[in-house]
A = this chain, B = another copy of it.
Amino acid sequence: MGKCVNHPDRETSFLCSKHNIYMCEECLECRDPDIYCKFRSSCSVWFMTKKKKGLDEEEKIEEEVKQYKVVFMPDNKETEVTEGDTLLEAAGKADVYVNASCNGKGSCGKCKLILESGDVKKESTPLLSDNEKAKNYVLACQTKVAGDVIVRIPEETIERKLKVAGMGQEATERLKKLVKDISPMLKEIPLELEQPTLDDSVSDLDRLNRGLKTTGCDVERMNVGIKVMRDLSAAMRDENFNITASVIRKKCSNEILEVKPGGFDSPMLGLAIDVGTTTIVVYLVDMKDGSIIGATAGHNRQASCGDDVINRIVCAEKDGVSKLSSMGISTINNLINEVVESAGVEYRRIRNIVISGNTTMAHLLLKIEPRYIRREPYIPTVSEFPILKAKDIGIKADPSAAVFVMPGPASYVGGDIVSGLVFSGLHREEPLTLFIDIGTNGEIVLGNKDWLMCASCSAGPAFEGGGIRWGMRAEEGAIEKVSVDSETQEPKIDTVGDALPRGICGSGMIDLIAEMFLKGIIDNSGKFKLDASHARMKVEKNERAYVLAFSDETGVDEDIVFTETDIHSLVLSKGAVYAGFTVLLNQAGLDFSMVDRMWITGGFGQYLNIERAITIGLLPDIDRGKFEYLGNSSIAGAYMALLSDDFRKEAREISNSMTYIDFSSSNEFMEEYTSALFLPHTDLKAFPSVKV
């Protein structure tokens, strides 16, 4: 008998000899990951009880609990798990990235691994082809460990280093010019104070404030913590009243954060972080002149809990928001390590951070309850975040680094959009502008310097490759351009990195559908009209499909096809986005002809062919000169807010002044949506330039 590790007042006989801990029954059954998760998969207590529940045979409990080794190739990453854990759980433990769009439900088929050796128990799944099965492919979430196992991450799904999304060298140089006066949240202010005398005997703190006032600080609104007060007198006298004070400028007050003897030690750094549902981008910035001295991007590790924000929230409700938070934070911290190491700087010099992300991402990162985001009436807990400290949320930087999280006006129009607007300057100018971030959600902003309206339409994951048989992101091997010969109906494809095709990404799909529509392969409702006997037509799992690449031309040893279901998914997505434009304009009493500019942002837009997008009715049929691609405007706005108080202020103003239109229960939206489920649209007058 011993005391429960979580409840010292309880005696319990459940001992894990491995971890040398006792746990009471309540803890063993508890689903709160803070209580049991850290031990879950490797703790014999936990497993013992699981068995006890299962078998209900007291004597069996004495049996030794089986632990097995799982090795992930090609990186040879190894971990130990308990019998019965899934390979997806093992991947999480080994810190190996495995995409699991459906959050381990076994429905997306993304978490493929190749079993090289060892015993496993597999659930049967229709999501693997015979070819794949023959090659020992398994779904990680549907496969339980039953012995020491070696698995390999398939070449085609391996995590590739992302290109830093959106902004190239030239663009970042341009960014620098957008910020005229650098005014960070956390400032380091060197002061040479006058020494006290009998005639000038104000307190040390008053002397410090007097010095700060001469540098323009608003000392009337200055707070100071007990630690600074305790360290103050020594710090001031260590180098003869030459000191450097760190001051945080908050929205409504300032705070002296630290006082160090002497002058600067080395230049202060900052981070601009764009936390996308899929991809996280980090810029490392020299706060003195705004130079971007490092930039990197990586997949958000939360992907193993699902592709979209709804799945992430579901996962947070089940496993606790802490789990999702650590996944996001660990992705960020790995990226920070990367930029910090390659720049050869100390992470403690990072003292200013701006995070831009959608509302769900912001909630999850900060461990703020996200559950009401997905429930009518769709309420975020927080829209405008106070300035936090890095240690509050676990970001690897100076623990006192100031963290500004971009505010967002609604559950489905978040800080990433506000950040994009800050960069775009839409809200500072006269022309009427439609601003759109196309992704799983299509976030739309309409307005100019006088007013702003916004909305979000649920486009679904198709544009990002989700729910599409061969859908993938714009990574190496993704088909990104398609043209179809009007005579032969044979396709011509281009892939990212000119690699053998492994799937098709969003821009490729739009190309494909536009081409299939224009070249008579499909009709305006998205049904195939090409003769079934055509060499490119085949039937897979009872539905018709167009073969983009035959197995011998691919990197996956299977035909890469596009099915009628895939077409339908894409039509639903484009219909939702177009209906969003229409309703937002209607609400403002406007129409497309009045739109002066149409700005597209987000990673997906980068590869978008405007002409083809108009052809399928995703974008309106207006003057092509009005379209502009902004790149990753979320990271750009974060960069600007990192350097300038004015832009942080603008962000708050934008967030507060936007009128949010909810489409979720709007009849008008449903009508427009239904009308938009044709190619290009039921109302052909709206698409005069699209001629089949």
Contacts and interface: CB of A to CB of B under 8 A. Distances in A.
Interface in A391-436: 392-393, 410-411
A267 B220 CA distance: 33
Contact of A226 (B198, B234, B250, B388): B388
Contact of A204 (B220, B250, B376, B381): B381
A368 B221 contact: no
A202 B383 contact: yes
Q: Kindly name the residue among A198, A203, A206 whose own CB sees the greatest number of chain B CB atoms within 10 A.
A: A203
A223 B203 contact: no
Given A230-B369, A234-B369, A253-B221, A196 B379 contact: yes
Interface residues of A, number: 53
Interface in A184-236: 196-206, 220-226, 229-230, 232-234
Interface stretch (A286-294, A343-351, A657-665): A657-665
Contacts of A388: 226
Contact of A367 (B197, B204, B230, B252): B230
B368 A201 contact: no
A334 to B, nearest CB: 23
Given A226-B393, A383-B206, A393-B226, A221 B411 contact: no
Contacts of A223: 250, 252-253, 386
Interface in A637-676: 660, 662, 664-665
Contact of A379 (B203, B224, B366): B203
A662 B201 CA distance: 9
A381 B229 contact: yes
A393 B225 CA distance: 12
A380 interface: yes
Nearest to A377: B198
A383 B229 CA distance: 11
Contact of A381 (B233, B250, B411): B233
A432 B377 CA distance: 65
B198 A665 contact: yes
A496 interface: no
Contacts of A234: 369
Nearest to A209: B384
Contacts of A366: 226, 229-230
Contact of A233 (B221, B252, B372, B660): B372
A382 interface: yes
Nearest to A223: B386
A592 interface: no
Nearest to A226: B392
Contacts of A197: 377
Given A203-B379, A203-B384, A229-B381, 10 more contacts: A201-B378, A201-B662, A202-B379, A203-B380, A204-B379, A223-B253, A232-B368, A233-B381, A234-B369, A253-B253
Q: Which 4 A/B pairs are nearest by Cβ-Cβ distance?
A: A253-B253, A221-B252, A203-B383, A233-B369
